[in-house]
Structure 1
Amino acid sequence: MQGGNHMLLEEPVRLASVLAPAKPKVFPSLTKIVGTLGPNSHSVEVIEECLTAGMSVARFDFSWKDATYHQETLDNLRKAAQNVKKLCPIMLDTVGPEIQVHNSTGGAIELIGGNHVTITPDLSKAPSADILPIKFGDLAKVVKKGDTLFIGQYLFTGSETTSLWLEVTETSGAEVICYVKNTATLSGPIFTLHVSQVHISMPTLSEYDKQVISTWGLQNSVDIISLSHTRSSEDVRELRAFLKSHDLQDTQIYAKVENAEGLEHFDEILQEADGIIISRGDLGIDLPPERVFMSQKTGIHKCNMAGKPVIITRVVDSMIDNLRPTRAEATDVANAVLDGTDGILLGAETLRGQYPVDAVRTVGRICAEAETVYNQSLHFKKVVRHVGEPMVHEESVASSAVRSAMKVKAAAIVVFTFSGRAARLIAKYRAPMPVLAVVFPREGSDPYDRVIIFEKIGDSSVVKIIECDDSER
């Protein structure tokens, strides 16, 4: 049974099997879980539990807190990883062109629906129900009457009473007068302002981002940089050049697509980036609700065909305050896996949520269950058809390795590599078993990569070795 890009088992699944106890798994879910570390996931003990529960990548978001705080958290992560004997890559999330609303009073500001409020770039003015200061001087130049503005707390879900919707009624000099569409209470020092489908004349890679990357990022040899608000392929090229100039050329770039501009230039961004993060939070503001699903499904499909990792965000927002996700959220996570997503990013759920460990564990279990009914055979055929013929040598070897592993029901695929290219190509075909990459140093290495397939039959093993050229092209 299948529909659209959904990957379900071709043979129907007996509904009674849903009631059967879950079978023990040797490996956790193949879908990776990115956990954002913060106040409620800062300690060594909690991070240990998150790692044990299935967290694969630790995300450090510099929109919140400074380098000193994040360094303390990273030091705790390293202790925790050593204690549980698990590797955990580091993801640095940039700030980018983010407009912040500053509440210098720190007190709660209640705005009543039906009233008007003025947005001003004058930070010396005290925030109130009548005026909100922002750290951006050109808002009045880029918005027009009728435009929609959204103000929410950091990592907003969109459903809190702190989420404020405004409609621009007029501009006066550098100030913007707005109609308040709903009643909301803003409590906290900083909020984020989002303008729907309007280009903001701020650089994607800010000076603050550069300073953080060249200091904290370099010092800690970050594995991945999540480039927030990526709007074009030029944004990715600029960051890559900056990384190379600071001896961080091995750091991967995951372009965070979270606005209409990013969607418009998705194909060119995908070509330049190492991976994609589909940020459904901000996309849900830029797009009508009925079109969000299509951006997710189409984006995931394009990434799958290109053989590049894709991660989605905002899946179990209710677990910020609740021990269990809603039924809709649980289904959403499973459907994302069936769509072909490679990873799930948890933001507020682990940063300020009350149940960070449970959020990781629950999402991991849902992913693992969805993977049991994922139609890998259909995905394999789609990728082969997309690649076309004649295949280049590396594609041919990678696809053959996965096909052989599937036929012998292999326990794992082990790739000996020095550039990682062979492992990434094999992962592109989404083998239903783990792919383990063993990295050789470049100096004195054999110019070929070996792909080893293990078949477990009782106490015996069958090993097949295939060599493929893994040179970067």
Structure 2
Amino acid sequence: MHGGQMLIEEPVRLASVMAPSKPGFFLTKIVGTLGPKSRSIEVIEGCLLAGMSVARFDFSWLSADYHQETLDNLKTAMKNVNKLCAVMLDTVGPELQVHNTTGNPIELKADAHVLLTADLSKIPSKEILPINFPDLAKVVKKGDTIFIGQYLFTGSETTSIWLEVLETVDQDVTCLVKNSATLVGFIFIVHLCQAKIELPTLTSYDKQVISTWGSLNSVDLISLSYTRGADDVKEGLENFDEILQEADGIIFSRGNLGIDLPPEKVFLFQKSAIRKCNIAGKPAIITRVVDSMIDNLRPTRAEATDVANAVLDGTDGILLGAETLRGLYPIESISTVGRICAEAESVSNQSIQFKVIVKNVEEPMSHDESVASSAVRAAIKVKAAVIIVLTSSGKGARLVAKYRPPVPVLAVVTSSQASTTALTGTARARQLLPVKGIFPVLGGSIRDGATSTNEEPSLKLAINFGTSAGIIKPYDRAVIFQKIGDSSIVKIIECNGS
């Protein structure tokens, strides 16, 4: 299975390992979660300049007003540094939580007893933990295992507890604490390892947030939380093709996977699922990569390797959760992950990825798909610096990016004056940001009946963008992909630096 191979260009010379890292461009996208440590205009500017392409707003805690202030700061920061950033609304979904309203650390000792209760009026302590699920006592039984972890699942034995159910009475569940740990933070996530939780994927709260805050702010992306137990993971594995067909992209929540699957199985799921996303041409984003950077300036060796391997596997993006939301080094977390991504991309065996995707495309290949793959092949053969896609819908840019070109895809997104769609050109541009390698450039508007783009101004916009970003030098070659009428065409130009 190609998805399980180490896709490294051979040979990787020792000299390349010893040489200093080159700062600059990387194709993999970084999603940053904005919160207490990353919501000021100054810090958000730093995150954008470090390489954040998507800002995630997690509605599992804090109010809509709080998130609105953060979003307003993001908009100001984008203007200040002249960078686009997509907005992702992350729903709560069927998540069981303990709200630690006091914020005080809760220390639990192995072999002690703790009471889990549905009575939310109780204050969390080492003796009692109130959970936002009234049917808890109905779905667990004696001997079941319950996991309670620090916000966003660290999985660390010092910050997460494993409980064994001893008894259920009315709405209360008495548990034996299996390991000593200190729960820190305002929210702890509860995971029932054997029980099936019948809760909707989209809760009434989620629907309310989407219809109000999400609609008001015209958010670009909505992520749906899903995993509630081992059965859900099995269901997801068995029906992954169907899920992928309906979704515009997939986020792999490895915090959940690490609890639901044996450790030795997590990598298999990650590699095979990313491969399926690549073949479908839909972005795959992984989470939980540099947890140690919540408190430290550098990731562990294993974490750095994990990020690189994800890039080599074909991931489109890396999602940083607690690292940017409440971590001490939000900007450094983004820049460090970006440098690792750049190094991995520099040795990635793009030809293998290209062949795998081509091999798995249904035949006969559509005209657009054939030309898009030819654009990538041409860029490789002529050693082009960039591929420029002239598009109004964004579809052409996604098709080109699907074939994993080793160079940036500059997507000049225009808007049609006659379009009846609710999405503006700017919104379509932002929605391209989670896709690996695509860097959207805002074009002008076109009249009804005109060709898909006005070529000369659009090319100039793209070349100016690439030149200012340092990815196009005078006399570099660029491959152009565009639709004219019902046809897709590819051509090669030389950037004369004028």
- TM normalised by structure 2 equals 0.83
TM-superposed CA distance for 1:465, in Å, is: 5.8
Q: Deviation per CA, 1:258-281, whole angstroms, max 9, x where unpaired?
A: 844433432211110000000101
Q: Deviations over 1:369-399 (max 9, x none)?
A: 1001111111111111001432111211111
Q: Rate the CA distance shift 1:426–1:133 in 2: closer, same or farther, 3 A.
A: same
Corresponding position: 1:459 with 2:456: no
Q: Distance in 2 between matches of 1:230 and 1:187?
A: 23
Residue correspondence of structure 1 range 206-221 to structure 2 within 5 A? 206-221=203-218
Please tell me the residue identity of whatever aligns with 1:35.
G
Aligned to 1:6: 6
Q: Give the superposition deviation at 1:123.
A: 2.1
CA separation in 2, counterparts of 1:456 and 1:72?
Answer: 37
The Cα of 1:412 is off from its aligned counterpart by: 1.2
Equivalent in the alignment of 1:15: 14
2:315 aligns with one of 341, 344, 353: 341
In the alignment, the residues of structure 2 paired with residue 376 and residue 258 of structure 1 have an alpha-carbon distance, to the nearest angstrom, of: 34
| Residue ranges of structure 1 left out of the alignment (5+ in a row) | 232-256
Match of 2:341 in 1: 367
Separation in structure 1 between the aligned mates of residue 114 and residue 479 of structure 2, nearest angstrom: 70
Instruction: Tell me by how many angstroms 1:197 deviates.
Output: 5.2
- Equivalence map 1:440-455=2 (5 Å): 440-442=414-416, 443=418, 444=448, 446=450
Q: Deviations over 1:279-320 (max 9, x none)?
A: 101111111111111111111111011110000000000011
Aligned residue identity for 1:347:
G
Check whether the contact 1:118–1:130 (CA below 8 A) recurs between aligned residues: yes
Q: Deviations over 1:206-243 (max 9, x none)?
A: 11111111111111110001111268xxxxxxxxxxxx
Q: Is 1:80 paired with 2:77?
A: yes
What's the offset of the Cα at 1:105? 5.3
Distance 1:97 1:462, change over 3 A: closer
- The 2-side partners of 1:202 and 1:261 are apart by 15
Report the AA paired with residue 6 of structure 1. M
Greater mean deviation of Cα atoms: 333-342 or 106-115: 106-115
Query: Is 1:136–2:136 an aligned residue pair?
Result: no
The aligned residue for residue 181 of structure 1 is 178
| TM-aligned CA distance change 1:333 to 1:39, over 3 Å | same
Q: Is residue 360 of structure 2 the alignment partner of residue 392 of structure 1?
A: no
Q: Note the C-alpha offset of 1:32.
A: 0.2
Deviates more, 1:11-20 or 1:345-354: 11-20
Segment of structure 1 superposing worse, 131-140 or 82-91: 131-140
State, as a whole percentage, how many aligned pairs show the same letter. 68
Does the aligned pair in 1 maintain the 2:383–2:477 contact within 8 Å? no
Label 1:127 to 1:46 Cα distance change in 2 as closer, same or farther (>3 A): closer
Check the 8 A contact 1:316/1:325 in 2, yes or no. yes
Structure 1 contact 48–83 (Cα < 8 Å) conserved: yes
Letter in 2 for 1:134: I
SS of alignment partner, residue 242 of structure 2: helix
Partners of 1:322 and 1:377 in 2: how far apart?
37
- Asked whether the 8 Å contact 1:197–1:286 carries over to 2, the reply is no
- 1:203 deviates by 1.3
Aligned-residue RMSD, C-alpha: 2.6
Indicate the residue corresponding to 1:205 in structure 2.
202
1:44-123 matches, within 5 Å, as 44-104=41-101, 106-123=103-120
Secondary structure of 2:43 counterpart: helix
* Contact 2:375 2:400 survives alignment (8 Å): yes
The residue that corresponds to 1:195 in the other structure is 192
Which has the higher mean CA deviation after the structures are superposed, 355-364 or 187-196?
187-196
**Larger deviation, residues 413-422 vs 151-160:** 151-160
Residue range with higher mean Cα deviation, 189-198 or 344-353:
189-198
The alignment covers a number of residue pairs equal to 442
One-letter amino acid matched to 2:87: I
The 1-side partners of 2:476 and 2:16 are apart by 31
Change (3 A) 1:56 1:189: closer
> Where do 5+ consecutive residues of structure 2 fail to align?
419-447, 464-470, 488-498
Q: CA deviation at 1:422?
A: 1.3
Greater shift after overlay, 139-148 or 305-314?
139-148
Tell me what 2:154 maps to: 157
1:126 shift after superposition: 4.3
For 1:33 and 1:311, the matched residues in 2 are separated by 9
The 1:56–1:470 alpha-carbon spacing in structure 2 relative to 1, beyond 3 Å, is: farther
Instruction: Determine if the alignment matches structure 1 residue 262 to structure 2 residue 236.
Output: yes
1:342 to partner: Cα distance: 0.3
Matches for 1:202-351 after TM superposition, within 5 Å:
202-229=199-226, 259-351=233-325
Q: CA deviation at 1:150?
A: 1.0
- Cα distance in 2 between the residues matched to 1:136 and 1:52: 41
Contact 1:148/1:167 (<8 A) preserved: yes
Aligned partners of 2:479, 2:346: CA distance in 1, in Å?
25
Cα 1:17/1:190, change in 2 over 3 Å: closer
Secondary structure, aligned partner of 2:250: strand
1:239 alignment counterpart: none
TM-score, L = length of structure 1: 0.87
Q: Which amino acid aligns with 2:265?
A: R
Moved more, 446-455 or 418-427: 446-455
Distance, in Å, in 1 between the alignment partners of 2:211 and 2:414 is 28
Shift of 1:104: 4.9
| Pair 1:469–1:103, CA change in 2 (3 A) | same
2:332 aligns with: 358
Q: State the one-letter code of the partner of 1:298.
A: S
